[in-house]
Structure 1
């Protein structure tokens, strides 16, 4: 042994002093040994994580364990889902057995006690909280809010959800709906949060939207009287008469749910939260869309739309109707248009006059047809009465008689 080594060796007295210091430090660190008992709340640091438990140093003479069931109010697959090495945690002593050096701790008990108070405060203030979906069960979702929280299926979204299988792991924004500590019951709702946001957004749109404004929206619902279009979080109605310039029987003729359409705002009623929209207002009018083939003198196909006493209205293009005056329906005289026409009938018409500016067009049916030939005139029989012998001329008998033929017997007396 070198002199230098000898110089650094402790004497028995020094070793005794060092051991005494270590013992004092240990006693100081474990000053709560005799005071530690079941139900105590302690602070600790996670030193090891197994699948079914976690080990925690709480400054005691041996480490405590947190069983999987005591880590959370929500069933866990493994301990790592709740804690990690180095994490500071607050725990409650469940059992302590120094002889077996067994110290069982609970994180769940501490979290639950705090959660009840915190959730009550959130319920009173209606503050929004966030929580991850731990499990999908019959009738709704289970979330971890320090307690086992339940979100009924009807309170998850504003719309109906058929399958919640992909919700596990999602973070929801929730409001506390109901608390019952005695029954360990915690009911939460995400729908309330979404409803509040929807109402706030609706008011913002109602206050900012202007009549005449053109916007895009998504078709939400089809009804017998039109379609509802989402224009940014609020639905407006496009009445069926405002869907197109031509007559529309059913909305499904033009759109389906999910279609993106351009609309114009016709009316805003903030008090009743109603918005009237038009699809046809953003489309070129039918009179602006008339082709070159629709000009005075042209013969075009049309559909009889309405019959009135003075004529018939015929559609010659989508949304463009012209009048066939009763005098232009047939070459012969008719008392009413119903004598020769019926609504829905397909016919050809000739354009007599066209005025797009005034949206007027005059039509003729009879000028598309060749006029029938005039019937031959009937000959009336003629008769003459002879003043001398009451001679009556018969039909087809010549009246050109000579004087000798008519008065021969009388003239013979003068010979």
Structure 2
């Protein structure tokens, strides 16, 4: 009876919420049995109160003879015995200390570890404190699969701390945006119009390709992807491909950079004088038809014009009446103007002019109006008076 009273007296020296030092007596079945120093009261330290890792081995954390600082959680009385023990926690004591360290650190960037994908966001851990990153604050773009951050360490900015409510909110997006802004300023400081730079194709759209220049995305418009016309971006480049591009324009205020891929590759008109010359007869394919003629591709990327007057010796009202897109034709080169990127072609120059029949020629000659015969003009000097002269005297040399 006296021993039990002594035990109760010693127990009264230990209260939930106390921070005490305990010595590990034994380790077994994922729990450590400890004795609280200065009291003789025993306690239980489970694996759950050592770490959040459910698959961990308790022997990696404590062993018999170790001294640990723990937080007293609650009293436990044995059902079949009169023993009194306490449930203690090392993990929660570390969390309390971490909370104390967090107070006043809003706005600071810290390194956290993703622990679990939860509804509405991601659960993380920082120095023993569980925090939360809402889905809208994980990245600059909405992240549907937050599982990829579980087990990963990354930086996040502390947004809100409330120890009384166990509220610890962070934002990874803020860190990403600040890093992107710093990178953007650095990239713009180095970019110059006309320079050739390397970049990685980030994404493709119907109107072109966005290229990551190391923090700034520049646009290669579809017209600047290739010297060929009407190409699809995905037929020229692919996402992840590293390419060299020429800087065409920079608008730092709007964050825009215009780029050209085709400007870094030889154009079809380079050295065209060695490939084409006036008088050459070559094969081509009709690419476009207009009211004034047909454009025929004679070399890759080079279309020449067959003017409507050069299609046939016969009168052509509309090129579509005699030619079609995709048709193969033989043409004669009339002129090559590399400076203006123009080639003049002719189809009728390779065709024999239709012969005109003699009857048609006679009809044309007969149909011409006859010019009136030119009459001889004579000058006659009349006498001052007509007295003494007859008409015969005046016109005597004319035979009637």
Structure 2 length-normalised TM: 0.72
**Does the Cα contact within 8 Å between 2:20 and 2:37 map onto a contact in 1?**
no
Q: Does 1:240 align with 2:208?
A: no
Larger radius of gyration between Structure 1 and Structure 2: 1
Does the 8 A contact of 1:53 with 1:79 survive in 2? no
For residue 319 of structure 1, the aligned residue among 275, 293, 301 is 301
Q: Note if 1:370 corresponds to 2:352.
A: yes
Residues 364/244 of structure 1: CA separation in 2 closer, same or farther (3 Å cut) = same
Residues 95 and 330 of structure 1: is their aligned pair in 2 closer, same or farther, counting only changes over 3 Å?
Answer: closer
Give runs of aligned pairs for residues 64-79 of structure 1, distance below 5 A.
64-71=43-50, 74=52, 76-78=54-56
Q: How far apart are the structure 2 equivalents of 1:370 and 1:46? A: 112
| Contact 2:284 2:296 (C-alpha < 8 Å) held by counterparts | no
CA contact (8 A) 2:193 2:250 kept: yes
2:336 — aligned with what?
Answer: 354
Matches within 5 A, 1:298-309: 298-305=281-288, 307=290, 309=292
Of 100, 113, 132, 1:150 maps to 132
The reply on whether 1:42 has 2:20 as its aligned counterpart is: yes
Q: 2:71 aligns with which of 66, 72, 92?
A: 92
Cα offset for 1:266? Answer: 0.9
**Equivalent residue number for residue 122 of structure 1:** 105
Q: How far is the alpha carbon of 1:70 from its aligned partner?
A: 3.1
Q: Give a deviation string over 1:45-99, Cα, whole Å, max 9, x none.
A: 7676555334557644656432334335x46344649944598754223357898
- CA–CA distance in structure 1, aligned partners of residues 294 and 68 of structure 2: 88
- Per-residue deviation, residues 131-161 of structure 1 (Å, max 9, x unmatched): 2233333443322223322233443344554
**Given the alignment of the two structures, is residue 112 of structure 1 paired with residue 95 of structure 2, yes or no?**
yes
Alpha-carbon distance in 1 for matches of 2:192, 2:60: 52
Task: Structure 2 unaligned segments of length 5 or more: list them.
Answer: 1-9, 364-400
8 A contact 2:273–2:338 mirrored in 1: no
Q: Shift in Å at residue 103 of structure 1?
A: 4.5
CA contact (8 A) 1:33 1:60 kept: no
1:134 to 2:112 alignment: no
Q: Contact between 2:286 and 2:294, CA under 8 Å: does it hold in 1?
A: no
**Structure 2 residue matching 1:323: 3-state secondary structure:** strand
Report the counterpart of residue 312 of structure 2 in structure 1: 330
Shift of 1:198: 1.4
Deviation at 1:252, TM superposition (A): 2.9
How far has the Cα of 1:304 moved from its partner?
4.5
Q: Structure 1: which 5+ runs fail to align?
A: 1-31, 382-415
Tell me, in whole angstroms, the C-alpha distance in 2 between the residues paired with 1:333 and 1:342: 17
> In structure 2, do the counterparts of structure 1 residues 105 and 255 end up closer, same or farther at CA, with 3 Å as the change threshold?
same
SS in 2 for 1:377: helix
Q: Among residues 214, 221, 231, which one is paired with 2:203 in the alignment?
A: 221
User: How far apart are the structure 2 equivalents of 1:203 and 1:157?
Assistant: 20
- The answer for the alignment partner of 1:9 in structure 2 is none
The equivalent residue for 1:205 is 187
Aligned-pair RMSD on alpha carbons?
Answer: 3.7
Q: Distance in 2 between matches of 1:121 and 1:107?
A: 24
Distance 1:317 1:218 in 2: 31
Q: After superposition, what is the alpha-carbon deviation per residue over 1:259-298, rounded to whole angstroms, capped at 9, x for unaligned?
A: 3332111111111111101111111011126596634323
